[in-house]
Amino acid sequence: MKKVVKFGGSSLASAEQFEKVGAIIRAEESRKYVVPSAPGKRFSGDTKVTDMLYGCYAVAEKGNDFADLLDGIQTRYNEIITGLKLDLSLDKEFEVIYENFKNKAGSDYAASRGEYLNGIIMANYLGYEFIDAAEVIFFDEEGRFDDVRTNEVLSAKLEKIERAVIPGFYGAMPDGSIKTFSRGGSDLTGSIVAKAAKVDVYENWTDVSGFMIADPRIINNPKTIEAITYKELRELSYMGATVLHEDAIFPIRKEGIPINIRNTNAPEDKGTLIVEATCRHPKYTITGIAGKQGFASITIEKAMMNSEVGFCRKVLQVFEDNGISIEHMPSGIDTMTVFVHQSEFEEKEQEVIAGIHQAVQPDSIDLESDLSLIAIVGRGMRAKRGTSGRVFSALAHAHVNVKMIDQGSSELNIVVGVRNHDFENAIRALYDIFVTTRL
């Protein structure tokens, strides 16, 4: 058995958290490759080291004195080193960082130093070999992740090393400059390492015991999802569930490597297992509920629309020409409705309306704003009759007006549109009928 373990910023925010992480890693011989994030918040109101680095570099970029800000960042790391009683100094590393900041090495370089420095501490603490991610994770000239070269170089490197620490979040461009993934990209690094090392499990340790069926800010103490497929995870991540970076599944999906979301502060909890497919029957009809607010709908009506070849394409071309992405597109015989992000649409609404009139000469165009989309996701829905009926029933009892309902052909998800002010009530009603009462 061989595992990659990735630890988030909250898991590594202090020496005390480091000790918890060390105990977890040493508890199993199989935990051979460690991917650390930068130190996160130690308490409410604290600042993440990554944000401190961004702030420090912004001052340096303007040519102002940033020495005190950088000293504050070094103090954070020194507190961890002292708390762990390590014989380690990062003075030389910070001298290099100071010079690179002064020479304006770039915000990606600045942000990456959080993981880089934490990786050095982690390797020293565990007695593992340190591998700089810039030497094994690569981007192409366009700034796109180079999976082929990365897998080739990283696989060859890890074949010779039994235990290693590889910092998350960054890699290198062809010219050697640092390039980062989007925020939360350490999850992606963990998947990349898991694929290259051909491990059995990728454990992603954070501050929650796996995925919750619904947002705990809306539902009090929601149930944990025991097992979820990659497809279900994509649906929930797309609609706002944020425990794992949504791109983290791609490097390992074809390899069949499961991801186990675990809680650093409750290591005895089994967490959530993310898999390609499973014979396990879900405990509930649904796997999860997630949603986003802030959408607008544009309903185009035209008699005999269904017989007009290219009608939908012409409408969608208008949105594309205005740089607006489309979220959902339910349609009827003589109507089609397009859901878009309201913030994107408001800036171009008159251009879009004019463009639609010119493209398809509709009978009418109707706009609605302040809408939310909620996804009810679950492989268990395929085997249950009347799921859509239960959705309507739950929302009707909660006095929530349904503006749109759309079910994918895979029967894996149902998306409903409601007004923003009904968003939380709708999620509570859906959780109640599918989880609390298990109808």
Q: What is the pLDDT of residues 72-109, one digit of tens each?
A: 999 999 999 999 999 999 999 999 999 999 999 999 99
- In this structure, what are the phi and psi dihedrals at residue 323, rounded to the nearest 5 degrees? 70, 35
Q: Find residue 331's DSSP bridge partners.
A: 336
C-alpha 330: how far from its chain's center?
27
Contact 369, 233 (CB under 8 A): no
Does residue 168 carry a pLDDT above 70?
yes
For the chain, give the percent of residues with pLDDT over 90: 81
Does residue 313 carry a pLDDT above 90?
yes
Mean pLDDT, range 319-341, rounded to an integer: 92
pLDDT of residue 106: 97
pLDDT of residue 439: 55
Does residue 387 carry a pLDDT above 70?
yes
Local structure of residue 13 (DSSP, 8 states) = S
Which of 220, 372, 390 shows the shortest CA–CA distance to 292?
Answer: 372
* CA–CA separation, 192 and 186 (whole Å): 10
- Grade residue 278 by pLDDT with cuts at 50, 70 and 90: confident
Contact 404, 339 (CB under 8 A): yes
DSSP string over 320-382: HHTT--EEE--B-SSEEEEEEEHHHHHHHHHHHHHHHHHHH--SEEEEEEEEEEEEEE-GGGG
* CA–CA separation, 250 and 255 (whole Å): 10
Q: Is the dihedral of CA 58, 61, 64, 69 positive or negative?
A: positive
3-state SS string for 164-215: EECCCCEEECCCCCEEECCCCCHHHHHHHHHHHHCCCEEEEEECCCCCECCC
pLDDT of residue 8: 94
Q: Which amino acid is at 265?
A: N
What's the pTM value of the predicted model, to 2 decimals?
Answer: 0.85
pLDDT of residue 405: 86
Q: Is the dihedral of CA 178, 184, 186, 188 positive or negative?
A: negative
pLDDT of residue 340: 96
The residue ranking higher by pLDDT, 359 or 388, is 359
pLDDT of residue 379: 87
Q: Which amino acid is at 245?
A: H
- Grade residue 281 by pLDDT with cuts at 50, 70 and 90: confident
Average pLDDT of every residue of the chain: 93
For 187-312, where are the E strands, in sequence order?
A: 201-206, 227-229, 259-263, 272-275, 288-301
Going along the chain from its start, the domains and CATH numbers come out as: 3-275 (3.40.1160.10), 288-436 (3.30.2130.10)
pLDDT of residue 409: 65
Which of 176, 178, 177, 151 shows the shortest CA–CA distance to 167?
Answer: 178
